[in-house]
Every structure is written in structure tokens, then in C-alpha cells.
Copies of this chain bind each other. A is one copy, B any other.
């Protein structure tokens, strides 16, 4: 058995059965092993930024890591921006990065690069396999590292000779460390705090935004008057009819500060303290009042469901009926404003859909407007590195194949990883993409206006995606995805409805 075969066998034993890949010459023994050993679903991405965000979307839904297959340092580099997003999401991912053969590295051949150096900033665990005998156990440790709470990125670099040499040893799956639970003393301290009845926000992130955890949080809120709020960027929120609705901290500094104004305490549950994504002259970086105290109920790696349930019990908080969100909205009509599009989508989200949102500026109303939609999961960009949406939707569809995916996607960000459309077509995934085609980097124009700058020709041109306009129907067709254009809410609703009855992907270019 060669090293590559032991690697594939070990991954399978460790419960990994999905591989997102963009292979190259140095990975061919791994590809050849995948070809001969049954059990791994292999999904080709035509660019590595697609591959890594697919793995992110997959793990957010499947709740276990996929493996990526990347080609040497530059192939890894192409996937780094979306690994940065995945790191912020605490998504478990195992990267397998092929590299120069051990004895070939000193020759400094053209593709040789500092693979470990590039991997480290996004990876909790990095190792270069030293031999065919070791790569199996390396892979088992990599999977264990990825699955360790709260979910981490593990990067295993596999020199070509480690793959092709004989002497591979299949490793047993390693136990995943149990997610640490919060200490009873902490729960009691937070309960004591909440009983004082001072203005408090329970600030929720990651696992605290799943349905059961939100129900416990709602008990706490009802019993103590504390408010619930989600952090701005979250990997997955369970919401819609039959779920506890949860407000999200706004992106922009002023409304975020307004949302937290007057609070005396901020209790973090799987969230990090709220800070502005960017600094601005004369604006604060921290978004909560200077005299508010920050408390931690559950750190990101601790079990938030247990923490919230323990806290609710400590408070003897009784069960609370789910709030009435009112009826599912009707589709809007007429001009596709942000609010009208949000409402139209809310009307048509099917039961148990996955909504992937990278709406950037135009998407600002979507979350609020879809509050009373059918029950669904809401997946977001998590690290502010744009270009995640199309492949995140692709991976989510593979991670939860029985569910429809609706991908709400700003046009500028879509261009970063548009190759994902081809993978959607190749895999016949049930993904409806709505491209929000405002044909500009609207968020930057907005930020420039905030600076008091009236852009003249040069700046305008650097934020304008027109001249020429991108034609998303043709781009999608070119990658094998059927597509149509909508210019009104009625057209959007018609196309969205039609797409939900199709098998396979469909793209709607919504001209806004």
C-alpha cells in the first residue's frame, strides 16, 4: 500500500466521505487512490477559492468536515480567502495540499513555494507529512484537529513521494474530544447577574443560533428581561416559522452602536465581542457602550446549547411558547427595492430551504424581511472576505442534498468565485441563485460618501461594474446553468417559483 492509499483509507475510516478537489501533478497518486478505493465522493472545482468555500458550506450543513485537495502552495493560496472566512466561522475543514517531493524541494523547481507559511494564518493545525508510513496517522490527527471544538482548519501537506512510496499504514480514527461544557460556577454567576435586571444583551454566535439553543435563550430572556441578539456574521442560523426569531447586530457602525446603546452588560454565548469590521476616523471600534461590562457564558469552543439550557434551568425559567411571527409574507410587487426583494424571497422560501446570503449592500433588508418565512437555515459570509456565496451555496447543497438552496448574491462579490456555477451544473445541484445586479461596488460608494468624498471620474470608475455591464444570464449559460433576467418583483417571483420545481441549478439576474 502506498502513502496515498493509506491516506484515503484513513480519511474514510475517520468518517470523511466528501472531497472537494482541484488537483495537479503532485496530487496524482492521491487521485489515483481515490479512483481505486470506493467511498469518497469527489467534487471538482475549477478554482481553489471555489473548492475551499464548498468545503465550508458542506460542513456547515453536514456538521462534519470535508477534505479539500489543493495543488501546492499557489493552489492553496488561491483558496486562502475562503479559508479565512471558514476560520472565522469555526468550520471544520481538512486541507490536503500536495507538494514537491521531499528530495525535489531543495531544487527550488518553479512551483516550489512556502506552503506551510501560507497555510499557517488560517490553520489551527499544519503538518507536512514526512513519509508514507506516517501520512496515515497524520491524516487521523488532522481530522481530529478539524473536529475539535469549535471546529478548526487542519492542513496536511503531502509531498508527492510521500504519496507514491510504498509502506503506507492505515490509521484508526482518533476520538474527537468532547466539546467542553461551561462550569456550573459560571452559569451561577451569569444567573446572579441576570437576576439584577439591569439592561443586558445575551450576544449569541455560532451554535447558540440553532433552534434548540434559541429556545433556551428565549426562556432566559422571558424570565429576566435580557435581550437576545445575534452577532453580525454567523455561519448558520435556524429561523423562520416555528423558530425563535433573533435580531442581528447591524453591519454599519452607527446602527450597531444604537442597537447596543444603554446596555450595562453584554453576555457572550459562542460569540466574540462586537467590534466594527473596519475603523473609521472619529468612530469607535468597539460597538458597545464604554461602561458596559462584558461577560462570557460560553466561549466559542464551549457547548452553547448546554450553557443556555443550564442557565435557563438555574434561573428556573419556564418554557415559553414560540412567538407568533404572523403569516408568511406575500410577494411584493413592482420595483425591486431591497425591502421588496426581501419580502418576495420571504414569501417563496420553501420549507427547510438553505438561504445563503452574500448580499453586501443591497441585501441589507433581507434578514429582517425573511423573519416570518417558512423554516429555513441562513448562511452568511463570516470573515468579510467577499467571494464566498456561490461556492458556499454549492457546498451546502452537497452537505444537505434533500434541501433547496437559495443563494442571494451581490454581483461584485459573485465575480470572485463565479466558477462555482459550473460545479452546480456538473453536480445537478438544486441551487437557485439570485444575482443582485446593481453593477457597482455600492458598499464602497456608500463608504466614500461617509467620508464626505464626492467621487469624480477615477474613483467612480473603480467602483462601477458597468461599461461593460456583466450579463449574468450569458455567464451562467456559458457554465451550463440555465438563467433568466428579472427586472420587477413579479418577474423575480415567477422565476423563483419555477426554479423551485426544477432539478438542478438556475440563476436569476435581478437588475436593481
Stretch at the interface among A117-125, A169-177, A318-326, A332-340: A117-125
Question: A21 near B: Cβ within 8 Å?
Answer: yes
The reply to whether B111 and A121 contact each other, CB–CB distance below 8 Å, is no
Question: A26 near B: Cβ within 8 Å?
Answer: yes
Proximity bits, A1-44, B CB within 8 Å = 1, else 0: 00000000000000000000101111011011011100010101
The reply to whether A46 and B471 contact each other, CB–CB distance below 8 Å, is no
Residues of B within 8 A of A160 (CB): 278-279
Question: A258 near B: Cβ within 8 Å?
Answer: no
Proximity bits, A85-117, B CB within 8 Å = 1, else 0: 100100000000000110110011111011001
The reply to whether A468 and B279 contact each other, CB–CB distance below 8 Å, is no
Question: A415 near B: Cβ within 8 Å?
Answer: yes
Return the contact of A107 from the options B36, B121, B285 (Cβ within 8 A). B285
Residues of B within 8 A of A81 (CB): 74-75, 77-78
A109-B278, A470-B422, A475-B474 known; A462+B31 contact, CB < 8 A: yes
Question: A226 near B: Cβ within 8 Å?
Answer: no
Return the contact of A103 from the options B72, B285, B459, B473 (Cβ within 8 A). B285
The reply to whether A468 and B78 contact each other, CB–CB distance below 8 Å, is no
The reply to whether A275 and B107 contact each other, CB–CB distance below 8 Å, is yes
**Complex Cα gap A191–B141 (Å):** 58
Question: A511 near B: Cβ within 8 Å?
Answer: no
Question: A367 near B: Cβ within 8 Å?
Answer: no
CB contacts under 8 Å to B, within A203-247, are 233
Proximity bits, A265-293, B CB within 8 Å = 1, else 0: 00000001001111101000110000000
Return the contact of A111 from the options B49, B384, B387, B477 (Cβ within 8 A). B384
Stretch at the interface among A307-315, A349-357, A444-452: A444-452
Question: A264 near B: Cβ within 8 Å?
Answer: no
The reply to whether A100 and B448 contact each other, CB–CB distance below 8 Å, is no
A43 to chain B, nearest CB (A): 9
**Complex Cα gap A272–B110 (Å):** 10
CB contacts under 8 Å to B, within A325-369, are none
**Complex Cα gap A110–B451 (Å):** 21
A109-B278, A277-B111 known; A462+B74 contact, CB < 8 A: no
Proximity bits, A46-64, B CB within 8 Å = 1, else 0: 1101000000000000000
Residues of B within 8 A of A453 (CB): 28, 32, 35
**Complex Cα gap A387–B77 (Å):** 13
A10 to chain B, nearest CB (A): 18
Question: A488 near B: Cβ within 8 Å?
Answer: no
| Nearest-CB residue, chain B, relative to A164 | B281
**Complex Cα gap A418–B422 (Å):** 13
A75-B81, A451-B32 known; A110+B384 contact, CB < 8 A: yes
A81 to chain B, nearest CB (A): 4
Question: A401 near B: Cβ within 8 Å?
Answer: no
Question: A382 near B: Cβ within 8 Å?
Answer: yes
Residues of B within 8 A of A286 (CB): 107
Residues of B within 8 A of A103 (CB): 279, 285
The reply to whether B110 and A32 contact each other, CB–CB distance below 8 Å, is no
Residues of B within 8 A of A47 (CB): 387, 415-416
The reply to whether A276 and B42 contact each other, CB–CB distance below 8 Å, is no
Question: A383 near B: Cβ within 8 Å?
Answer: yes
The reply to whether A477 and B471 contact each other, CB–CB distance below 8 Å, is yes
Question: A385 near B: Cβ within 8 Å?
Answer: yes
Return the contact of A385 from the options B32, B74, B101, B277 (Cβ within 8 A). B74
The reply to whether B110 and A121 contact each other, CB–CB distance below 8 Å, is no
| Nearest-CB residue, chain B, relative to A116 | B121
A164, A276, A279: most-surrounded residue (chain B CB, <10 A): A279
**Complex Cα gap A325–B431 (Å):** 56
Question: A255 near B: Cβ within 8 Å?
Answer: no
**Complex Cα gap A35–B455 (Å):** 7
Return the contact of A31 from the options B25, B85, B459 (Cβ within 8 A). B459
22 example contacts (A-B, Cβ-Cβ < 8 A) are as follows A24-B444, A26-B278, A28-B447, A28-B451, A31-B448, A31-B459, A32-B455, A35-B458, A35-B459, A44-B462, A46-B465, A77-B84, A78-B81, A78-B416, A80-B118, A104-B278, A104-B279, A109-B276, A118-B118, A161-B279, A425-B468, A468-B480
- Not counting A26-B278, A111-B277, a sample of 18 additional A-B residue pairs whose C-beta atoms are within 8 angstroms of each other reads A23-B463, A25-B447, A28-B447, A29-B451, A31-B444, A31-B459, A32-B451, A35-B457, A49-B78, A77-B118, A88-B110, A109-B277, A111-B384, A160-B278, A160-B279, A422-B468, A426-B467, A473-B478
- 3 tightest Cβ-Cβ pairs between the two chains A and B: A468-B480, A475-B478, A74-B385
